[in-house]
Structure 1
Amino acid sequence: MSLVARTSPDDARLLDVLRDWLPTRRWFPAKGQSAQLSAVASFVLAPDVTVLLVRARAGSIDAVLQVPVVLTDGPAEGAIGTLDGRSVVDGSDRPEFLAAWLAAAEGPGADVDVSAARAISGEQSNTSVILPGARPGILKVLRAVAHGENPDVDVPRHLVGVGWKHVPAPLAWLQGEWPGPDGRPGTGYLGVLAAFVDAAEDGFELACAYAGRGESFASLAADLGAVTATMHDALVAAYGTDAGDQGPEEVARAVATRFSWALSAVPALAPFADDVAAVVDEVRALPAAPPRQRVHGDLHLGQVLRSHDTWYVMDFEGEPLAPLDQRTRPDLALRDVAGLLRSIDYAAAVGGLSGDRAADWTADARAGLLAGYGGGDQTLLRALELDKTLYEVVYESRNRPTWLPIPMAGLERLTRP
Structure 2
Amino acid sequence: MSLIARTTPDDARLLDVLRDWLPTRRWFPAKGQVAELSAVASFRLAPDVTVLLVRARAGSIDAVLQVPLVLTDGTHDDAIGVLDGRTVLDGAGHPEFLRAWLSVADGPGADVDVRSARVVSGEQSNTSVILPGAHPGILKVLRAVAPGENPDVDVPRHLVAVGWQHVPAPLAWLQAQWPGPDGGLVTGYLGVLAAFVDAAEDGFELACAYAAKRESFASAAADLGAITATMHTALVSAYGVDASDQGPQDVARAVAARFAWALSAVPALSRFADGVGDVVAEVRALPSAPPRQRVHGDLHLGQVLRSHDTWFIMDFEGEPLAPLDQRTRPDLALRDVAGLLRSIDYAAAVGGLTGADAATWTGDARAGLLRGYGGGDQTLLRALELDKTLYEAVYESRNRPSWLPIPLAGLERLAGGDLEG
Q: Residue 206 of structure 1 corresponds to which residue in structure 2?
A: 206
- Amino acid in the other structure paired with 1:161: A
Is 1:12 aligned to 2:12, yes or no?
yes
Partners of 1:270 and 1:301 lie apart in 2 by: 30
- Unmatched 5+ stretches in structure 2: none
Q: Residue 196 of structure 1 corresponds to which residue in structure 2?
A: 196
Partners of 2:81 and 2:272 lie apart in 1 by: 53
Q: Residue 370 of structure 2 corresponds to which residue in structure 1?
A: 370
RMSD: 0.4
Partners of 1:412 and 1:341 lie apart in 2 by: 15
Partners of 1:300 and 1:242 lie apart in 2 by: 24
- Amino acid in the other structure paired with 2:6: R
The worse-fitting range, judged by mean Cα deviation, of 51-60 and 74-83 is 74-83
SS of corresponding position for 2:148: coil
- Amino acid in the other structure paired with 1:170: P
SS of corresponding position for 1:31: coil
SS of corresponding position for 1:256: helix
**Which portions of structure 1, spanning 4 or more consecutive aligned residues, are displaced by more than 3 angstroms?**
none
Q: Residue 95 of structure 2 corresponds to which residue in structure 1?
A: 95
Partners of 2:144 and 2:218 lie apart in 1 by: 37
Is 1:35 aligned to 2:38, yes or no?
no
- Unmatched 5+ stretches in structure 1: none
SS of corresponding position for 2:98: helix
- Amino acid in the other structure paired with 2:163: G
Partners of 2:262 and 2:148 lie apart in 1 by: 32
Q: Deviations over 1:48-90 (max 9, x none)?
A: 0000000000000000000000000121230100000000000
- Amino acid in the other structure paired with 2:326: Q
- Amino acid in the other structure paired with 1:412: E
Q: Residue 272 of structure 1 corresponds to which residue in structure 2?
A: 272
Q: Residue 71 of structure 1 corresponds to which residue in structure 2?
A: 71
Partners of 1:218 and 1:193 lie apart in 2 by: 33
Q: Deviations over 1:224-281 (max 9, x none)?
A: 0000000000000000000000000000000000000000000101111111011000
**Superposition deviation, residue 396 in structure 1:** 0.5
Partners of 2:251 and 2:177 lie apart in 1 by: 38
- Amino acid in the other structure paired with 2:31: K
Partners of 1:112 and 1:169 lie apart in 2 by: 15
Q: Deviations over 1:361-381 (max 9, x none)?
A: 000000000000001000000
Q: Residue 407 of structure 1 corresponds to which residue in structure 2?
A: 407
Q: Residue 130 of structure 1 corresponds to which residue in structure 2?
A: 130
**Superposition deviation, residue 412 in structure 1:** 0.5
Listed as ranges, the matches of 1:147-296 within 5 Å are 147-296=147-296
- Amino acid in the other structure paired with 1:31: K
**Superposition deviation, residue 209 in structure 1:** 0.3
Q: Residue 361 of structure 1 corresponds to which residue in structure 2?
A: 361
Q: Deviations over 1:200-221 (max 9, x none)?
A: 0000000000000000000000
**Superposition deviation, residue 119 in structure 1:** 0.1
Q: Residue 392 of structure 1 corresponds to which residue in structure 2?
A: 392
Q: Deviations over 1:11-60 (max 9, x none)?
A: 00000000100000000000000000000000000000000000000000
- Taking structure 2 as the reference length, the TM-score comes to 0.99
Partners of 2:380 and 2:283 lie apart in 1 by: 6
Q: Residue 346 of structure 2 corresponds to which residue in structure 1?
A: 346
Q: Residue 306 of structure 1 corresponds to which residue in structure 2?
A: 306
Q: Deviations over 1:69-122 (max 9, x none)?
A: 000012123010000000000000000000000000010000000000000000
Q: Deviations over 1:336-368 (max 9, x none)?
A: 000000000000000000000000000000000
- Amino acid in the other structure paired with 2:221: A
Partners of 1:14 and 1:275 lie apart in 2 by: 54
The number of aligned residues is: 417
Listed as ranges, the matches of 1:45-56 within 5 Å are 45-56=45-56
Q: Deviations over 1:299-350 (max 9, x none)?
A: 0000000000010001000000000000000000000000000000000000
Q: Residue 107 of structure 1 corresponds to which residue in structure 2?
A: 107
SS of corresponding position for 2:272: helix
- Amino acid in the other structure paired with 1:294: R
Partners of 1:188 and 1:61 lie apart in 2 by: 19
Partners of 2:321 and 2:342 lie apart in 1 by: 22
Partners of 1:397 and 1:25 lie apart in 2 by: 23
Partners of 1:389 and 1:116 lie apart in 2 by: 41
SS of corresponding position for 2:55: strand
The worse-fitting range, judged by mean Cα deviation, of 268-277 and 240-249 is 268-277
- Amino acid in the other structure paired with 1:82: V
Partners of 1:395 and 1:304 lie apart in 2 by: 22
Partners of 1:108 and 1:16 lie apart in 2 by: 38
SS of corresponding position for 1:362: helix
Partners of 1:343 and 1:375 lie apart in 2 by: 18
The worse-fitting range, judged by mean Cα deviation, of 144-153 and 72-81 is 72-81
- Amino acid in the other structure paired with 2:224: L
Partners of 1:190 and 1:82 lie apart in 2 by: 25
Partners of 2:97 and 2:301 lie apart in 1 by: 32
Partners of 1:206 and 1:127 lie apart in 2 by: 22
Partners of 1:293 and 1:4 lie apart in 2 by: 33
